[in-house]
Homo-oligomer: A and B are copies of this chain.
């Protein structure tokens, strides 16, 4: 799960959610076998784990871990000192590193390691959140949608959800209150997060240390990656106090040791019905893979045009290749007859047990058939809603910001405070590459024309008499949206004023009615009936299998358990550990298998026996990147940064024999801070002698 770099993380998460067409979350599996499960902190199988691993987990242990666990944009993290120091992955902070860089100061390449705390720099837009309270609000949310359908159902639900959130946070900006749907609508809970919005970059190694092996090694193991970085949360200009931090253990675990991963798995689809999975397999994933491949080719070719192009495109390519590989793996699992057959059998069993119980049939009807009907609608609308709304702009940052402005200008229910927050957010300085923006926009326009066809009314309206290439060039070269001051100012404009002020805004405004219309149809005709039917499936599962289940991932705090372990596949056994010396053996000198300069310079100092990366049976998925890996004593012993190739099917199911979490050990981070990137200041703060 080198899943999510910081910035692409946000959009990746958003687009995954959009792609899934999922408002709610998933129902739980038949039964939690092996080390399966991304458990909520209020329903962790304490007894099961203690029995299996001889640990002594209790509620107090869980609370400590929860209070030290941090959610950041698209990733996970943890407090590791009492002064707000946060451990996460390098790839979760590289977006920030890139934003702090410039043509002359390439911190992505050279690493970011300020000598003093005063030089720690703020990461634009970065927040850190700690879950402090969970309140069940299932009854309120279900009551709000009762008896309603389509757009009315969505509106009632959204209104009630907003009310719950507003009441709970009471306008206090130090908190973020979020109603989250679990078990695909089986349960709704208010999650209250303590929120820090001044988060600064403390340490990032050279990209070649963190990203050694690049895309070819991504989702593979053995690995040799120092995919770790540090942030620090500040408030009122001072580091926050974080007394409940996880103690840093500089020693590696042993094979078989029980380990816990606390983080925010982004999205799983383990309890989608067969008809939903088949649509993903036959329509959504292939189309997404094909389009992403073309964009990948465009970006790769662009990256070869010069050093600056290479620098600028590093993070976007990294994010795209990561998303591509994850989705490719997901698609492969859905194409595997054995894998899908097991899902089919499980569904048949559940449906059979429901059918055998007249009361249950009476209560829930046949949501599987309902969802099958919804898929026909989804197939019909998918291309349009994807091209015109969900994936509109092709990942262009300027387009995204411009659309935010346009939609806000038309939103009469937005408060002054909300508008001010938007102005602040949009007014933040952020480096924009005109080249990358233009590539993305023309890619999106040309694919939209290709898939919706030239004679489609929306396509005609978008392109007029221009080509995708000429239109993209005109909009990007003409827009003022790259100017932060203009964006802040534009936040106060009316729709008409926006259209006057800027060609990109004018373009979006001209085509926004069509985009919002197809988005509204999707919400009413796909999302709403999906949510209603999925709730019934969840109720069936609770009725048949009880509540000892974990919900599908929802990018909210979860805990998984497991042990340090390698695996065997087709006669090949992969050991659980790699050692730092292995890096030097694997390095060829050619990208992306060139060792980082500091690793080469300090080779004689490095203890090559140090455990570098390790694999464990924990059940995680994209969004878990940066999660602390915790031993039974509650100490941090690593940070999870990837899954093995088999874990990609984890979107749809967990296989205890093959799915593995891949982490960088605190032992390796400690060794690096001692002998590769010497940093006594951080070592002292981590309590390492």
Contacts and interface: CB of A to CB of B under 8 A. Distances in A.
Nearest to A336: B282
Range class of the A interface residue count: 35 or more
Nearest to A331: B286
B454 A220 contact: yes
A369 interface: no
A215 B294 CA distance: 15
B450 A589 contact: no
A216 B293 contact: no
A308 interface: no
A115 interface: no
A546 to B, nearest CB: 36
A133 interface: no
Contacts of A290: 289-290, 293, 328
Nearest to A304: B469
Given A298-B300, A301-B439, A465 B216 contact: no
A305 to B, nearest CB: 7
Contacts of A296: 294, 297
A467 interface: yes
A590 B294 CA distance: 22
Contacts of A542: none
**Most chain B CB inside 10 Å of its own CB: which residue of A216, A282, A305, A593:** A216
Given A304-B469, A465-B589, A449 B216 contact: yes
Interface string A84-116: 000000000000000000000000000000000
Contacts of A302: 301
B294 A588 contact: no
Given A293-B291, A296-B297, A297-B294, A217 B454 contact: yes
A335 B287 CA distance: 12
A213 interface: yes
A80 B466 CA distance: 40
A453 interface: yes
Contact of A590 (B300, B466, B593): B466
A510 interface: no
A591 interface: yes
Contact of A215 (B283, B450, B592): B450
A360 interface: no
A295 interface: yes
Copies of this chain, complex-wide, total 2
Contacts of A463: 588, 590
A470 interface: yes
A454 B335 contact: no
A273 to B, nearest CB: 17
Contacts of A455: 220
Contacts of A588: 463-466
B291 A289 contact: no
A486 to B, nearest CB: 28
B465 A590 contact: yes
Interface in A211-247: 213, 215-217, 220
Interface string A432-467: 000000010001000001100111000000011111
B297 A450 contact: no
Nearest to A334: B282
Nearest to A438: B304
A430 B247 CA distance: 68
A447 to B, nearest CB: 10
Nearest to A455: B220
A441 to B, nearest CB: 13
B297 A301 contact: yes
A453 B304 CA distance: 23
Interface string A535-564: 000000000000000000000000000000
Contacts of A289: 286, 290
A624 to B, nearest CB: 23
Interface in A278-327: 282-283, 286, 289-291, 293-302, 304-305
B439 A213 contact: no
Given A216-B453, A286-B286, A297-B298, 18 more contacts: A213-B454, A215-B450, A216-B454, A217-B454, A286-B289, A297-B297, A297-B300, A297-B443, A298-B298, A301-B301, A304-B469, A305-B305, A463-B588, A464-B588, A465-B589, A465-B590, A466-B588, A469-B591
Which 3 residue pairs are nearest across A and B when measured between Cβ atoms?
A297-B297, A293-B293, A301-B301
17 contacts: A215-B450, A216-B454, A220-B455, A290-B293, A291-B293, A293-B294, A294-B296, A294-B297, A297-B298, A297-B299, A298-B298, A301-B439, A305-B305, A454-B593, A463-B588, A465-B588, A467-B593
